[in-house]
Amino acid sequence: MKTRKLVMAVISVALAVNVLAVTNVFEMPLVFPRHRALRQRLVETVRAGRTEEMEKVCREAVELMPMDATWRYNLACALSYYADKEPAFQALERAIELGFRDVNAMQNDNDLKPLKGTPRFRTLMEKAKELGNNPVEGMTQAAPVTALMGRPVEVNAANAVFDFDSGCFKALLALRKIDNKKVSEYAAEYQGPAASDVRDWMLSDTVSGNFGDLYVNRDEGHSLLAVTNFPGLTPVIYGKDAVLHKAHRGLPNMFFDQPVLGNASLSMVSGPMWRSLPRMALTDPYQPLTMFRLYVNNQSWFFPAHKDYETGGVDHFPANTPYYVVSKGSSFSDRPFMEAFAATMAAFRPETKRMLNARKNMAPILQMILRATQKSLRKPDDYLTGSAHPAVFDAAELDAAAMVKMAYGLTPETIPPLVALMVLKDEQAAAGRDFFDLRPEGLFDTPFAIARVARGTACVRSMTLGASTAPEKQGAEFRWVVLQGDPSKIEIKALDTKASKVELRVAYHGVYRPTGADGLPSAVQSSRVDIGCFVKDGEYYSPPSIVSVCYLPNETRAYRDDGQILSVDYSNSERRYADPVLTMHKGWKDLYEYDESGRLIGWYRKHGDKAERFTHAGHRVLESDSHNRPVKACAVQYMPRQGVVEGLPPSLTYVDTPRVFTYVYQNDLDKVGKPSAAGR
């Protein structure tokens, strides 16, 4: 079977509308994980050309979501390869009835080729044309609701759909002004930051105000922005069906066609998985992509750091991203930043704001303005330092007056481009040999933030990265800078004249105290390195794009002078907190051994009173020869072990597998050897 290009391209379009007939839209997250897994299996089976498995996947999906047109269509494609075409025709007809009516796609789909040319197929295409965009019988279609700017607008099952491509909802709102008054007639009502400047600009009708902007609160009113201080700002409230299904609380999960300010002053305060909402997002496999999508959908979000970042304590964030603002402190620490952003949005000139909305650049440019106006910055190029781009922002550094002035001075012509990053080459550490945790080194790859967990034992981790501007700017020169980390341990090598391609080499940092702008060590410990990429177009630098590399604080490493690993102590004798989502307690220490030429022979593992030996390939040694060289070894499997200590997360353990290897040596001087599979 040929790989079908259309199967996944159309799935997100149809699913958002068609599933609503059988259940409340706010129940869709319950089936989304299963749908996502089936979708991935479908892609794999289509690529491999496994027709029978494709049918099985589609039937499972149809059972999961019987009213979904796209899964029914995929089933028709799988069935079309069988000699009996009737089941395929039945599935295709049902897909058309449920809303899959893209005649051009069906006529050009190679998977339906066995059905083409038959009278039945032509009849079904005519039926699809006739039904066109007509509503599906028995289905209630979500529709936009008209809302008045500045008045609360409710999101409920009647005006929300679920997007199965992103796993988020989409609200269908149409905003209109209450009256035909000019912005100047609302100037007296503005009570936000930098009131004198903003009111003067409103009186002159040279700014947009907050008309057309939305405010979304996701902590059940715990830390509310005073929307009445910002004329035109429209608060979004959740209907009872959304509240019933808990779709109104926690990390953001909804797209809007309007710019959004949103916050959730919440955190998990107890239990082994305690964490702030932003750390929850960073350590989830899918949330970083969601946050990126919201970022380029004109949404600005605010979350307190809570205990994840405290003066005199530790920075627990494994990555630094521009996708939201994390405020230093706990409840209500997000409010000053929300107020400053609302004021900044009000201070944009109408033509500038229209351009930002159209380009989906509102959130990135607001981030740029926040960072460029930090009080600790003394000169424009200080924007290219860590002072402008911390993982957590301190309200004491916030300058709302400078933010609104910068926004007011921005024109459509001076809006800086964004810098998109791409990983071109990445060193891959091998699980079971170079590291033992169950999660890989890649934390996430998104266009404006990339994050790695340096799990492998190599002293230096290298990546090759590419950078481009959006929109494209001819002749753009990129600036790569260390935002956090020891510059003597970080090498950024440009591979072309514009630095649009660089090799990044980061040596092991471990837990350390980053140096501040004053040259003194920070009061907050960290185990993360941040590198920023920027471009300057005219007056302004771009919003940041950030590459983060974090180290696991429950490990203590020692390296030889030549950079080879000497030992890794996983016992965490210093009792440092390590995120249990990223790493597990191990309780052993590995001591590495090399031959005279510096080649790794293997390692000894000390675990309490027990000592074991492993080969360079990570196999546990079963037998050795007279030269103390492994001749028989087995592969081991690492797995979590529950209940070692009550109330604590799982620890990591390992067991022997049936895979046994024999090691063969070239001569008596060879201490490394080569493994080959053997019987038990």
Task: Tell me what pLDDT residue 23 has.
Answer: 59
Task: Tell me what pLDDT residue 14 has.
Answer: 36
Domain boundaries, the chain: 6-131, 178-414, 418-550, 556-678
Number of other residues whose CB lies within 10 A of the CB of residue 16: 21
CB 585 within 8 A of CB 652: yes
Crossing angle (nearest 10°) for helices 362-372 and 287-295: 90
3-state helix, strand, coil split of the chain in percent (to 5) is 30, 30, 40
Spell out the CATH class of 6-131. mainly alpha
Q: How many CA atoms lie within 13 A of 81 on its CB side?
A: 17
Q: Please report the DSSP string for 557-586 in residue order.
A: EEE-TTS-EEEEE-S-TT-----TTT--B-
At the topology level, CATH places domain 418-550 in Immunoglobulin-like (2.60.40)
Write out the two tokens for 107: 């006529």
Long-range contacts of 174-177 (CB under 8 A, 24+ apart): 174/144, 174/145, 174/146, 174/147, 175/146, 175/147, 175/148, 175/149, 175/212, 175/234, 175/258, 176/146, 176/147, 176/148, 176/149, 177/148, 177/149, 177/211, 177/232
Write out the two tokens for 87: 């089941």
Crossing angle (nearest 10°) for helices 350-359 and 362-372: 120
Per-residue pLDDT of 162-185, as tens digits, reads 998 899 999 999 999 988 899 999
**What residues are paired with 580 via a beta bridge?**
none
| CA-CA-CA-CA dihedral for 371, 375, 379, 382, to nearest 10 | -40
CA angle 554, 558, 564 (to 5 degrees): 125
Global pTM value? 0.92
**Whole-number Å distance between alpha carbons of 121 and 116:** 6
**What residues are paired with 606 via a beta bridge?**
589, 611
**What residues are paired with 272 via a beta bridge?**
none
Question: Which residues are CB-neighbours of 596 under 8 A, at least 6 positions away?
Answer: none
Distance between the two ends of the chain, CA-based, in angstroms?
A: 40
Write out the two tokens for 390: 């911390």
**Whole-number Å distance between alpha carbons of 643 and 648:** 8
Task: Tell me what pLDDT residue 51 has.
Answer: 83
Question: Which residues in the chain show pLDDT less than 50?
Answer: 1-22
| CA-CA-CA-CA dihedral for 548, 268, 244, 226, to nearest 10 | -80
